[in-house]
Amino acid sequence: MQGPPATELRDLAGRSPGTLSDMLFGNAAFLVGPVSALLMVPLALAVIAVLRRPRWAVFATVALAAGVGITWLVYLVLWYQAFDYSDAGRPVPSPIDAASNTAMALCAGGVLLLGATALGTITLAWRTKIRHR
């Protein structure tokens, strides 16, 4: 059985990706979510540790970091399952594909919230420092 032509793009489930905007959104969600989570989580936790913010800010940051970590792990497990299907030459089941996309999107959302929390913490610390001069 011969696969699709080399010039035709397909996702792990063997479907054509659709439009260019679908591909761009999926790539952006992947880069913002699972890829940047590896950098954003330690940076956000370092910002909170260095700036010594109130307990609610520490709790919010740690909770968001835990949420990002959990969704990252779920995405990684689903990605390995999808890779095993693809490596065996079988189509990836739709539930695994949908769950993987959901985990990736949740991870991306968590990373964006975590980045906003870190930027807000830095901004508040900077403004507080300027006021006390």
Tens digits of residue pLDDT in 15-26:
555 555 555 666
Query: What is the average per-residue pLDDT within 38-55?
Result: 80
Residue at 7 is within a domain: no
Residue at 56 is within a domain: yes
Residue at 101 is within a domain: yes
Residue at 115 is within a domain: yes
Residue at 113 is within a domain: yes
Q: Which segment, 54-58, 82-86, 118-122, is predicted with the most confidence on average? A: 82-86
Q: Which of 86, 96, 93 is nearest to 4 (CA)?
A: 86
Residue at 76 is within a domain: yes
pTM confidence score: 0.70
| Tally of domains within the chain | 1
Residue at 13 is within a domain: no
Range of the domain at 112: 27-131
CB under 8 Å to 76, separation ≥6 — which residues? 34
CA distance 76 to 103: 9
